[in-house]
Amino acid sequence: MADVNTGDGGGGGKHAKKRAKKSSTRIDMTPMVDLAFLLLTFFVLTSTFAKPKTMEINFPAKPPIDFKPQKVNNAITVFLTKDNGIYYYNGEFYPVGNEKGVPPTTLTKTDFSDEGLHKLLLDRNKRTIDVIAKLTDQLKKKEIADTTFKRLVRLEKGRKQDVARGIEAGLTVLIKADDGAVYKNVIDVVDELNICNVGIYAIIDMGAKELELLQATSK
């Protein structure tokens, strides 16, 4: 509050010259301090503090001794090497002179640009991306519940192959790095997988034959 104190502005006598009245102002800051503390308390209680952002990667459990590897349908294997090098091949790996007589696997070089790995994943995972886009549109229109949306997205990313219905399995990406690769590139690949809605991926060791092929190709 502001208090205005007014002194007597008159002279001493009847015919004395009148002087201008002087006023002094005193501002009471107590209400303002109270308001400041109330606002401070309000923002402290209602604010959401920043949470650390981390990337969660679940590694598979160690398989049993009698485990037989299963064929992976619709898979891409990505190799990371020194100098931000990135190579890939599709499907199964066949070394030179394999027992099946299949032509040996060859590696294709790509990069982290929009026309490189990003475009490759978008093209190979187009069906899943289109389905999730439709589900997202239905969620925005409140045609499906949030829990239903999450469940359907999870099922679509982990889609199994259905030969009878002509449905291909969801895209699987295997990430393998040699001794020259840097950790940042592994994170960049995982980011691209999340952006392109790839639900099945794993970081695994590189085979001896694969390493030989990578070293021969990246020279």
pLDDT of residue 175: 93
Q: Give per-residue pLDDT as tens, 54-100.
A: 656 666 667 677 766 666 678 899 999 988 889 999 988 998 888 88
pLDDT of residue 18: 61
- Other beta carbons within 10 angstroms of residue 140's beta carbon come to 10
Q: Is residue 60 part of a domain?
A: no
65 vs 156, more confident? 156
Q: Give per-residue pLDDT as tens, 157-197.
A: 888 876 677 777 888 999 999 988 998 999 999 999 999 99
pLDDT of residue 130: 93
Q: Is residue 120 part of a domain?
A: yes
Mean per-residue pLDDT over the chain, rounded? 82
Q: Is residue 99 part of a domain?
A: yes
The DSSP line for the chain is: -EEEEE-----SSTTPPPPPP-EEEEE--HHHHHHHHHHHHHHHHH--PPPPP----PPPPPPPTT--PPPPSSEEEEEE-STT-EEEEES----TT-TT-PPPP--EEE-SSTTTHHHHHHHHTHHHHHHHHHHHHHHHTTSS-HHHHHHHHHHHHTPPPBTTTTBPPPPEEEEEE-TT--HHHHHHHHHHHHHTT--EEEE-PPPHHHHHHHHHH--
pLDDT of residue 110 exceeding 90: yes
pLDDT of residue 4 exceeding 80: no
175 φ/ψ angles, rounded to the nearest 5 degrees: -105, 125
pLDDT of residue 37 exceeding 80: yes
Q: Is residue 17 part of a domain?
A: no
Residue 184 tokens read as 């940042």
CATH code for the domain in which residue 208 is found: 3.30.420
Q: Is residue 186 part of a domain?
A: yes
Query: What are the distances in angstroms from CA 21 to CA 44, 65, 186?
Result: 48, 103, 81
**Domain of residue 98, residue span:** 75-125+171-217
- Number of structural domains found in the chain: 1
Q: Is residue 16 part of a domain?
A: no
Please tell me the pTM assigned to this model.
0.67
Q: Is residue 155 part of a domain?
A: no
Q: Is residue 115 part of a domain?
A: yes
